[in-house]
Chain A
Amino acid sequence: MIVAERKPMAEIIGMVKDCSKVLVLACRGCVTVCSAGGEREAAALAALIRLGMKKEGKTIQVIEGSLVRQCDKEYIDAIDQWDGQYDAIVSTACGVGVNFIANLRKETMVYPALNTTFFGGSAEQGIWTEQCAGCGNCVLHLTGGLCPVARCAKSLMNGPCGGSVGGRCEINKDTECIWQSIHDRLGSFGKQSQMETIAPIRDWSTAGHGGPRKTVRDDLTL
């Protein structure tokens, strides 16, 4: 899922300080699962905006809504139901949702309530960890299913770097050395020798270094 976290309230209050009515718009996709921007978090944010504005001596009308997702045109169209009820939307979706609203609603001002952080999973309740960098050229078949791009602090392709101690990363001792884990995991399948194959210099153009990426499926387009 896409993992995100709420921006500091001072930043959000700064965005809406000149508004008299806003729509806090939750997303029931990834950000609900990571407890950053679902209906419950949007309700809390709406209350905090009202309180924050009241503290500044201003009044603001805050309404709440939610969409199944904010990354599909069909769902964005449903924003019509709140037409005329807000000066701006404060979206609790990831950055994709905010962009989609901006793309599709030329007259609507939209502000992000979240910082979108990474593609990850829930390691345990309340803790999410980065697992994938969306680099566009997956090498997981060579690394025992563990990603050196997202999970090595240096994104090394011919790791380990030599700085790890006891299986922990030299950049952050709380982080496992993923190359140590790759070695151990390949070893459990008797495939450590895979690590002796030198990975060539990587073409990062698929990772966004070649500009915004796009996927076209001719079998699905109309």
Chain B
Amino acid sequence: MSFEPKITLFSCHYASQQSCAEKGKELQQLGFPASINLVRVPCTGKVQVTTLLQAFEDGADGVYVVGCPVDGCHNVKGSVRAGKRVAAVKKALEELDVESGRIEMFHLPRGLHPEFVAAGIAMDKKIRALGPSPFQS
């Protein structure tokens, strides 16, 4: 049976500007995976550990965060904080004997860049390979 993953992406306004281009159709035109549910946040520094865990509780097979470059965050340290929280959830997943690769952090350039779509495709490929979340009952 084919597996269609559910992936939740938390991205800041600045790194996900493509989601607004071409009346919101550009990502689709560039091949951004349909499996990804994009949640835009003002700054990834606002994304808490509980926010990330809630995504898994809500049925995500994979979760990732896209924030500004480490040395170029619009809010100075926001994306660095997000990276540390993603790392904390990775560790917690390992403690639960779950693949830590189900959650990732990407620091990408702000604006319209192909890396944003490439990260989505890479995440979709990885979660398809990992299979359904072990948290699905």
CB-CB < 8 A to A61: which residues of B? none
Q: Cβ of A54 and Cβ of B135 under 8 Å apart?
A: yes
Which A residues from 4 to 33 make CB contacts under 8 A with B? 8-10, 13
Q: Does B92 contact A (CB under 8 A)?
A: yes
Q: Does B54 contact A (CB under 8 A)?
A: yes
Q: Does A115 contact B (CB under 8 A)?
A: no
Q: Does B37 contact A (CB under 8 A)?
A: no
**Cα separation A208 to B53 with both chains bound (whole Å):** 41
Number of A-B contacts (CB under 8 A): 42
Which B residues from 79 to 125 make CB contacts under 8 A with A? 92, 95-98
CB-CB < 8 A to A10: which residues of B? 95-97
**Cα separation A129 to B124 with both chains bound (whole Å):** 42
Q: Does A191 contact B (CB under 8 A)?
A: no
Q: Contacting A8 at CB < 8 Å: which of B54, B56, B95, B137?
A: B95
In the complex, what's the smallest C-beta–C-beta distance from B56 to chain A, in angstroms? 6
**Cα separation A59 to B136 with both chains bound (whole Å):** 11
Given contacts A43-B50, A44-B50, contact A9 B57 (CB under 8 A): no
Q: Does A161 contact B (CB under 8 A)?
A: no
In the complex, what's the smallest C-beta–C-beta distance from B101 to chain A, in angstroms? 16
Query: How many residues of chain B have a CB within 8 Å of chain A?
Result: 16
**Cα separation A43 to B97 with both chains bound (whole Å):** 20
Chain B residue at smallest Cβ distance from A48:
B92
Q: Cβ of A44 and Cβ of B98 under 8 Å apart?
A: no
Q: Does B48 contact A (CB under 8 A)?
A: yes
Q: Cβ of B48 and Cβ of A48 under 8 Å apart?
A: no
Q: Contacting B98 at CB < 8 Å: which of A13, A40, A55, A59?
A: A55
Q: Contacting A48 at CB < 8 Å: which of B96, B97, B134, B137?
A: B96
- What is A's interface to B at a CB cutoff of 8 Å? 8-10, 13, 40, 43-44, 47-48, 50-52, 54-55, 57, 59
- What is B's interface to A at a CB cutoff of 8 Å? 48-50, 53-54, 56-57, 92, 95-98, 134-137
